[in-house]
Amino acid sequence: MYASALILHSLLRWAVVGLAVLALVRAFTGKDSSWSSADETPRRWLPIAVTVQFVLGLLLYGLWSPLTTAAMADMKIAMKDATLRFWAVEHITVMVIALALVHIGGARARKAATPASKRGAMRVFFGLATVLMLWGIPWVSRPLLRLSGSE
């Protein structure tokens, strides 16, 4: 189960990153034009994709990952080890904040009265969330395309 979830979590990040980039492109290029389905699609799907990714990550974090299991066994030692600290504290903290920002931004854009204010909400909240997600993705220590469940 761990290997399959890890592969899926790794692959799903590309859908999340792609939707985040698409949402930002739509938010920055639309200006005062009318709101279209091309604008609504990333506004609607980014929060869903991030939530699915987050739930899968929680399962890895809480149930299946040997790294977080090791970290939780002795947090004092884990906090001194950069790799264990990243997985036990930093990654999940950044992603919880990004999840919140994506949901707030999606709700604000949905409720905004004008296309310009919808795009403004997307620029601010999705932009901050995207920066955090890109920072929180372990680019250096993990393969860009994981097709096996090994650490």
- Per-residue pLDDT 10s for the chain (151 aa) are 888 999 999 899 999 999 999 999 999 998 778 999 999 999 999 999 999 999 999 999 999 999 999 999 999 999 999 889 999 999 999 999 999 999 999 999 999 999 999 999 999 999 999 999 999 998 766 555 555 555 4
Q: What's the confidence (pLDDT) of residue 33?
A: 83
Distance CA 12, CA 137 (A): 12
Q: What's the confidence (pLDDT) of residue 140?
A: 66
- Helix residue ranges per DSSP H, 30-146: 37-59, 66-73, 75-78, 82-85, 91-111, 115-121, 127-136
List Cβ neighbours of 56 (8 Å cut-off, separation of 6 or more). Answer: 5, 8, 9, 12
Distance CA 14, CA 151 (A): 19
Q: What's the confidence (pLDDT) of residue 138?
A: 85
